[in-house]
Structure 1
Amino acid sequence: MDAQDEDPLPPPAPFMWACARCTVLLRALGGVVEADAGCFYEQLAVARHVVEEHPEEVPPAHTDGCEQCPHYAARGDGDPGGHWAEHRARGLFLPPHIARLL
């Protein structure tokens, strides 16, 4: 994802602006996107924070043709590490075509 992408970062979910840590992480993500630098770790940091500190805000599983959700749902060990929750949380602050890559 770079600053030249057709889909810029969407406005994050409103609850994220009420959280100081979310705001710091979102600004860091926006900074690397603006600098046209890789932002993989910044994306993961925001998603991990949402899962750990705002679990009630993590959206439910995607039901509209997401390629990743069935893969996660098929796992017999639940969601170790919260990777499925992180996948769903990414949609709160990333364009769908990028959010659903992981």
Structure 2
Amino acid sequence: MDLTDDEALPLPPPFMFECNDCTRLLLDLANKTNADTGCFTEQLAVAKHLADVHPDDVPETHTRRCDQCPKYRTLPDAADAWAEHRARDLFLPETVARLM
């Protein structure tokens, strides 16, 4: 599968390679992506891990080009999902990360 630069997985931040769980989850995601077999479950697993285990590394609210952040901000019980949404920027291309 040939990916454009906008679709390719970005290089994650260094802290993710220092965490064994992050490394394993990223490898699972990369393997599924390379096999072109769908990787939604793997995306969710990485985002949840980041939000749960590395909350200080989750990016702040998106301030541009994000239709999702304003929606999450208005939902009273969406803090976890919103953190996972923002964490997706650390390991997915922006065009994919901001879909959910």
Band of TM-score, shorter chain: over 0.9
1:92 aligned to which of 65, 84, 90: 90
2:45 is matched with 45
Distance in structure 1 (CA, Å) of the matches to 2:13 and 2:25: 13
Which AA in structure 1 matches 2:81? H
Which AA in structure 2 matches 1:12? P
2:16 is matched with 16
Residue pairs, 1:49-88, within 5 angstroms: 49-75=49-75, 77-80=76-79, 82-88=80-86
Give TM-score, length-normalised by structure 2. Answer: 0.93
Residue pairs, 1:27-46, within 5 angstroms: 27-46=27-46
SS at 1:84 equivalent: helix
Gaps of 5+ in 1: none
Distance in structure 2 (CA, Å) of the matches to 1:4 and 1:100: 21
Identity of aligned residues (%): 50
- Aligned CA-pair RMSD: 1.1
Q: CA deviation at 1:78?
A: 4.5
Gaps of 5+ in 2: none
SS at 2:62 equivalent: coil
Q: CA deviation at 1:14?
A: 1.3
Distance in structure 1 (CA, Å) of the matches to 2:70 and 2:64: 11
Q: Which 4+ residue blocks in structure 1 deviate beyond 6 angstroms? A: none
The alignment covers a number of residue pairs equal to: 98
Instruction: Encode CA deviations 1:48-100: one digit per residue, 9 max, x unaligned.
Output: 0001100100100000131000001112x1535x1000000000000000000
Give TM-score, length-normalised by structure 1. Answer: 0.91
